[in-house]
Each structure stands twice: as structure tokens, then as C-alpha cells.
Chains A and B, each alone.
Chain A
């Protein structure tokens, strides 16, 4: 597992207060992890802070699962 994936999962676990084993690549923030739409905005803000990137709104709207976030950040962070 990549360092980016680890950091993303840590943020998701902390922010949504869910068990680590639930935070799989395919887990949907809303459908599987109990996030509401405001949580998803806050997760994007937390990713931006952690990785020092700007995530534009149109990109943010495509980040629906843990894996989506990891692949976006692998392409755009660092």
C-alpha cells in the first residue's frame, strides 16, 4: 500500500470515526462509510491540507470512494 493511501485512510478513519477495516479502496464515503454531503466537502478540505494541493470543485465531485481519492492524489500530489 502506498504512503498516499495510508495517509488518505487515516484522514477518513479520523474524520468519519469508522473502523479501519471498513475503509477499503472501493468504500463509498456516502453509501458505505456514513458520510453526508458536508462530510465529503470536509474530507476534500482535509486532503488539500494534508497533501498541499488544490482540489478543484469539478475534480472533488468525482471523488466518491477512498480509491478515487487515492488515485487523484497519486496523480496530483507531491
Chain B
């Protein structure tokens, strides 16, 4: 079950904790992967560690020209893109009344708009081949909201609406479009919190612990697989029960 032999996947944000785990998981199931991110050295190290079937395509997703070049590059490296994982994301947190225009713009650009462009570029080949998987990493805060993150939450909620609409458009072509919504996951982002903050967060998580990047990657592996062909337009929440939607 869940074999990805012969499949080709592009993963953005592959240097981050969650992105790296997703790339490793898809690769472990047999997929060829293109690792994208901004830090070339880290991507090269990951590709070297994975060995065969791993390529690097650096891209800064706040640069539209770089976004436009990414999908063609991935197709050149792998011949096709069967699985697109829009994982890259940034935060520029600030309370609403202090939020700067560029904090809003940057987060929307990287977290939402770059994904729109990558989906549009990827869907053409998927339509022709009559198969495809698009997976977006959104966030629990896109559904519940979070103080200090109006920009991030807006982008993540925007992804959910975009993916549902796209899912409806292309379902008849055997292309599925889903999002995975992590709750609190052990990453560099949550490492920045102090113990007291972590404790406070955990009181809202029935599972009583933070999630792991591998648990997000497992959800992505499922959605990328042939077995998930009948699952589309969904948001798979992986959050230890902190929000039950």
C-alpha cells in the first residue's frame, strides 16, 4: 500500500523540518523527488543523503520569475510532475494594529500566491496524463484563527478555499487536490517558544504533546498515493485533537 514507485514529486520548502520529512517520506515510498527551497547547501546535503532519485531546484518563492521557472525545471529534471507539494511558508507575525503592508504582502505572496502559480503550471501536465496529486500544507490557524497571525491565517485559509475550488474543477480528470493542516509540530518554528509557552499550548492539545514532522509527512504520503484517489477537496487535520473540525 501507498507505493509511489514511478511517481515524480516536487516539494517546496524542503529545507524546513516538515518539508524535509515530506521529501524523505515520498522518496522512501519510491518517488523521484525535486527538492526546492532557498538554501542550496542544505538541499544538496539532503539530496546527497537520499541518493538516487533526488534532485535540487533552488527557488525563492517571493520572486515571481523564480516561481515561474520552478515547475519547468522540475519537469526537466524528472520528465513530469505527478505530485506537487506546496509546503513552503513564512511567518511575519505582528498584532493586527501594528502589521505593516509588507508583512501582509510577503506572507500572502509566498504562502498563497506562489502556490497558485505552481498549481497552474503543474495542472497542465496532470490533465494530459489524466492523473495528479496536489497537496498543500496549510495550518490549523487557517481554520481557527490566531492572534498575531492575521496574514498567516489569511493565507492558510486562502489555500483551503483555493484547493477546494481547484479540486472541483479537475476531479473528473483523476487529479486530487487536498490540504494537510498541521497543529503544533516540533520544528524550528516551535523551538523558538519557551517552556511556559509550550506548556500553555499543550493544555489545548488533547494528545498532550507536540506532533512530529513525520506525522505530517505520513498524511502527505497517503494523499499522494493511489489509495487516496477518492479523497479530494479535503483538509486533513493532524493536530493531536486540538481542533476537531
Contacts and interface: CB of A to CB of B under 8 A. Distances in A.
Interface of A: 38, 41-42, 45
Contact-size category for B: under 10
Given A38-B169, A38-B173, A41-B127, 8 more contacts: A38-B127, A38-B170, A38-B172, A42-B127, A42-B128, A45-B124, A45-B127, A45-B128
A45 B130 CA distance: 13
A30 B102 CA distance: 44
Contacts of B170: 38
Interface string B138-177: 0000000000000000000000000000000110110000
A57 to B, nearest CB: 11
A51 to B, nearest CB: 16
Q: Give the dominant DSSP class at A's interface.
A: helix
A50 B173 CA distance: 21
A10 to B, nearest CB: 17
Nearest to B127: A42
A1 B97 CA distance: 68
Contacts of A42: 127-128
Contacts of A38: 127, 169-170, 172-173
A43 to B, nearest CB: 11
Nearest to B170: A38
Contacts of A45: 124, 127-128
Contacts of A41: 127
Interface string B53-78: 00000000000000000000000000
Contacts of B173: 38
Nearest to A38: B169
A45 B124 CA distance: 8
B127 to A, nearest CB: 6
A70 B169 CA distance: 27
Interface string B175-198: 000000000000000000000000
A26 B94 CA distance: 59
11 contacts: A38-B127, A38-B169, A38-B170, A38-B172, A38-B173, A41-B127, A42-B127, A42-B128, A45-B124, A45-B127, A45-B128
Contacts of B172: 38
Contacts of B124: 45
A53 to B, nearest CB: 15
Nearest to A46: B128
A41 B169 CA distance: 12
B119 to A, nearest CB: 14
